[in-house]
Structure 1
Amino acid sequence: MVGNKMKTEAVKRFVQKELNGWWIISMVGAAVILLPILFVFFTLFQEPNENWFHMKEYLLKNYILNTFTLVIFTGIVSAFLGVTLAWIVAAYDFPLKNFFKWGLMLPLAIPPYIAAYTYKAMLGYTGVVQTTLRNKFDYQIDAELLSISSLRGAVFIFAFFLFPYVYIITKSFLENQSSSYIENARVLGRKPVTIFFKVVLPLSRPAIVGGIVLVIYEVLSDYGLTSYFGIHTITTAIFQTWFAMYDVQTAMRLAAWLMVIIVGLFFLERLLRQRRRYNVNNKSRPLTPMKLKGFSAFGAFMYCFGVFLIGFFIPFIQLISWAKLTFAKVWDDSFITLLYQTVYVAIISTFLILIFAVIVANVSRKHTPFSFILSKIVTSGYSIPGAIVAIGVLAVFITLDKWLAPLYSQMGLGNAPLILSMSLGMLIVGYAIRFMATGFNAIEVGFEKVGTKYTEASRILGNGITKTFFKVDLPLIKGALASGFILTFVEITKELPLVLLLRPFNFDTLATKTYQYANDEQIYEASITSLMIIGISVLSVIVFQIIDRKKVKQ
């Protein structure tokens, strides 16, 4: 009895002191984010139809095998590229090292599906590579050797355009957190290879695992590359079931199983991180690079330069070349409309994401179990593929339309029209769920930097939480808001699977138009839209650099 009274009193104190408009908005928003995900998950407990049994017997094994093959080999190659490049850039000084430090982030500016279109056209029979070999060198190469429309080619594209996730995280860790260990090993006379395998790899394992998990999330989310190469994965199966068979139930069931894999991967990554903990001094000085000379310096330069060429420069220059040929044809009034639609929906979605992210981040500044759970729910959408989020959102909106059907009928809109589930609002909600983590993480970092002393002083003076936010907190986190806006805007602009499923009729973005051009084998025409996406995406690399320089100054 006494225990129950104490719990009741604690709840009352929480309601009186903490429960306010900020908490209520946060909880409602978290419920909106969680609802579509749960909608998909509970499909597993429904009775499957005949299409599911047919797919399970004849197709599902191939989908799963291809998916896991892509994940495993992409993870291995991305880890190799990311870790070795991070070690070279962080630990050594060689020609153009300062350029490669940020230049090796640029492959992230090219979405894998755009890289796939570009390289397939370049390496094809009429592409620049084979044409040059035939016309300039009178050499006929076996077309099979240059064909990348396969699992092997998909791994190549994914690895060279997603490795920066591993590179960025690992490089930051090595530069700022591991200097004492590496320099102690140098003093003891250990060779670079021994230091790399005995010190660097074990020490940076949590950072490496974190980067690999981000790569795997991107591979599992992809639809543009795998569908273009004709590779059957779970994600492509979801789209095929939806668009070709018009079977929403089976598509949702496939999405539910893919979500189970994602959640399992998330818990495995957390388990691996918990088992590997190191006592690292947060105030340790940066790692001092060793000067390379002669062949070693040349080898480090060529390795970084080769990856930069393949991962960014070559496809970028090729797209510019194609754009010159098709600019007059593509750049017309319809393209301006396309650009306007892309920017319009991205700006609205980004503003909504940042408003809600600010509210939740402000509530979560008090590190309580509830605020921890709230932050995890809010950011859960980023680790879930866009196809799953889209299916969950669509299922929720269709259900809402069914509930509102009597109201629609009274308004003279018909017996059972699809109003909400054919609107632009559904796409914006999908964007918000998928990319809330991008805005939230930026705002959370901003709040952590400014601390709570100014906020607490304002509250002591009698100002409420809302007045304190606008008068004290908001001016202090303007930089975090700007970073969050740019990063979120970029992510929304590049997104393909989600917008393919949720866009209203006759509504295109740069990403969907690029996909349509490529599917129609109009690769040259796709270059303009691809370059627009890449140009916007480069902003994210600039933001990373600005944030990194500010950290160094501090």
Structure 2
Amino acid sequence: MIGSALLRNLRRNMNGWVTLSVIGAFLALLPSLYILFGLFQKENENWQHIQEYMLVDYALESLWLVLGTGACTIIVGVTLAWLVAAYEFPLRRFFDWAFVLPLAIPPYIAAYTYGSMLSYTGSIQTFLRNTLGWTPDQRYFDIMSMKGAIFIFTLFLFPYVYLITKAFLEKQSAAFIENARLLGKNSFHTFFVIVLPLSQGAIVGGASLVAFEVLNDFGVTKHFGISSFTTAIFKTWFGMYDVDSAIRLAAWLMSFIIGLFVIERLLRKRKKFSSPTNKQNPLKRRKLKGVWKWAAMAFGLLVVSLSFFIPVTQLLVWATWTYEDVWNSGFTELLFNTLSVSLVSIFILMLLAVIVANVIRSARGSTFSLMLTRFISMGYSIPGAVLSIGVLAVVISVDQKLSGVYEWLGFGGGKLVLSMSLFMLIFAYIIRFLAVGYNAVEAGFEKIGNRYTEASRLLGLGMTRTFFKVDFPLIKGAVFTGFVLVFMEIIKELPLTLLLRPYNFETLATKAYQYASDEQIHQASIPSLCIIAVGIVSVFFYHWLGEKQTK
């Protein structure tokens, strides 16, 4: 528990900041509590049917999807991280940032694109038949399956493993790898005996992010006909109109995610290594020679082509076919909807992230700061479909409590005012992505340290004046970074937006999904390219900022 002296200090110096932080943490936690309480509600007939005939299938499909994608992303991501971090070969500097570009393409857009490209009437099979005179076996082009979903997720989620593992290898593992080289160990021995055991914590961290993204997905699994927990929640909610059973499914999925989170923490906790020296020199790269350097370059080009250039090129071609039909006044409204709801959400989110980060910095090391960090970060690890159920339950409950106020204001009794507005969607965005903005601001605070803040406080300035006069000018870059990263996440978010948007309110993500669901894949290219363009800008900014911080 927090000591009485610390509590007195917090109340005396920044009571308003603490109050807002606690309120924000409570609101972030509330939807999760509503979902978990769903496990103790009375079962109805639909749930009994789901539990008896479908629940095991949902669990197994989700489990195989997570395990298959996790294994493949580890293989691809760790291999690429080792090549880029430890060796020099042609185009290495290009691959250093190009391997991050797949994050700009949401997997559901990639699924629509590859599904159409590889179909019988798609560009690849059409080229083979009309140009080469070869009619291929359809089995080799059937991507609408579990294997196809794992293929898509691997290509567009491996950067999570790549980024974390590469950062670890470049900074933390140099001494171990250099010692192995001095002892005459070859590259394969060094990789399997030194690098893999040493990097297990980083690998598990990256793979856990991949698992959370897979469980959050709706577009890929729905398009490929896979009965995952997320698609089951959608079917139960919109197909059976049974919110109670959907809440139960969400609770089961959330319990599964909590289990994954605990396992990930245990694995990372047991895999900690200390450098044999306090001086951390960067890893010295060795030049690949002969066939190996060309093999490394070819492998990198294959991965970048499959995960970025090929799908983007295909979307650009389709965009030239459908530009006149899609780019009209309706699309302008679509852009306005996307930008307006995103900017409002980001402004509130980043304001709360700054407040919470400032409070946690002042109470660093206490139980209070630890709990606050956990509550704030919880939303990002919860799939959008699950979080939307909790948010819906919370907002409907608030509407019911305020029914008397609505009637007094002239809206009429029994109205669901907040539940039918953008408030619910914005509230969900804030909870879901608050951790992204908070992590960016926290990194900014850690970089500047506490010396300027402490000097300002000693001079008699309060917490608020110190922040605006001293702290904020120093962390503006970190706040802007959080703004860009959150903007990218909101723009491409699909499950949350589909479930909580008001009637007849479309964003770029939902419009792309709608086109794809209506078998209008070509028309989905322009909204998809807009989402990808935002992602590319965010990736370039992220890479530029990383390069700037390492100089």
Q: Is the 8 A contact 1:92 1:290 kept in 2?
A: yes
Q: Which residue of 2 aligns with 1:537?
A: 535
Question: Are 1:477 and 2:475 matched, yes or no?
Answer: yes
Distance 1:287 1:207 in 2: 16
Sort the Cα spacing of 1:347 and 1:148 in 2 relative to 1 into closer, same or farther, 3 A. same
Q: Is the 8 A contact 2:13 2:462 kept in 1?
A: no
**Candidates 104, 108, 133, aligned match of 2:128:** 133
Shift of 1:294: 1.5
Q: Which residue of 1 aligns with 2:269?
A: 274
Q: How does 1:313-392 map to 2 (within 5 A)?
A: 313-365=309-361, 366-367=363-364, 368-392=366-390
Could you tell me which runs of 5 or more consecutive residues in structure 1 were left unpaired when the two chains were aligned: 1-5
Distance 2:306 2:471 in 1: 44
Sort the Cα spacing of 1:143 and 1:530 in 2 relative to 1 into closer, same or farther, 3 A. same
Q: Which residue of 1 aligns with 2:90?
A: 95
Shift of 1:552: 1.8
Sort the Cα spacing of 1:9 and 1:289 in 2 relative to 1 into closer, same or farther, 3 A. closer
Shift of 1:469: 0.2
Count the aligned residue pairs: 548
Sort the Cα spacing of 1:298 and 1:38 in 2 relative to 1 into closer, same or farther, 3 A. same
Higher mean C-alpha displacement, 16-25 vs 374-383: 16-25
Q: Is the 8 A contact 1:95 1:301 kept in 2?
A: yes
SS at match of 2:523: helix
Instruction: Tell me the alpha carbon deviations over residues 26-68 of structure 1, each in whole angstroms, 9 at most, x when there is no partner.
Output: 0011111111110111111111111111001111111111100
Counterpart code for 1:369: T
Q: Is the 8 A contact 2:342 2:490 kept in 1?
A: yes
Q: Is the 8 A contact 1:177 1:282 kept in 2?
A: no
Q: Is the 8 A contact 2:10 2:18 kept in 1?
A: no
Shift of 1:17: 3.2
Q: How does 1:473-552 map to 2 (within 5 A)?
A: 473-552=471-550
Distance 1:194 1:15 in 2: 54
Q: Which residue of 1 aligns with 2:191?
A: 196
**Candidates 295, 299, 305, aligned match of 2:301:** 305
Quote the RMSD (CA, aligned, Å): 1.4
SS at match of 1:278: coil
Q: Which residue of 2 aligns with 1:3?
A: none
Distance 2:372 2:227 in 1: 36
Q: Which residue of 1 aligns with 2:418?
A: 420
Higher mean C-alpha displacement, 89-98 vs 135-144: 135-144
Q: Is the 8 A contact 2:2 2:367 kept in 1?
A: no
Distance 1:503 1:205 in 2: 40
Distance 2:125 2:521 in 1: 17
Distance 1:12 1:476 in 2: 28
Shift of 1:376: 1.2
Shift of 1:405: 1.6
Question: Are 1:235 and 2:230 matched, yes or no?
Answer: yes
Distance 1:74 1:507 in 2: 33
Distance 1:212 1:523 in 2: 31
Counterpart code for 1:509: T
Distance 2:2 2:512 in 1: 57
Shift of 1:407: 2.2
Percent identity of equivalent pairs: 55
Instruction: Tell me the alpha carbon deviations over residues 195-247 of structure 1, each in whole angstroms, 9 at most, x when there is no partner.
Output: 00000001111000000000000000000110011110111000000001100
Higher mean C-alpha displacement, 387-396 vs 468-477: 387-396
Question: Are 1:170 and 2:172 matched, yes or no?
Answer: no
Distance 1:530 1:435 in 2: 21
Q: Which residue of 2 aligns with 1:454?
A: 452
Distance 2:23 2:346 in 1: 19
Distance 1:506 1:205 in 2: 47
Distance 2:334 2:414 in 1: 31
Shift of 1:8: 9.1
**Candidates 37, 43, 51, aligned match of 2:46:** 51
Sort the Cα spacing of 1:416 and 1:123 in 2 relative to 1 into closer, same or farther, 3 A. same
Could you tell me which runs of 5 or more consecutive residues in structure 2 were left unpaired when the two chains were aligned: none
Structure 2 length-normalised TM: 0.98
Shift of 1:544: 2.1
Distance 1:16 1:478 in 2: 27
Counterpart code for 2:38: T
Distance 1:8 1:139 in 2: 76
Question: Are 1:155 and 2:158 matched, yes or no?
Answer: no
Q: Is the 8 A contact 2:78 2:162 kept in 1?
A: yes
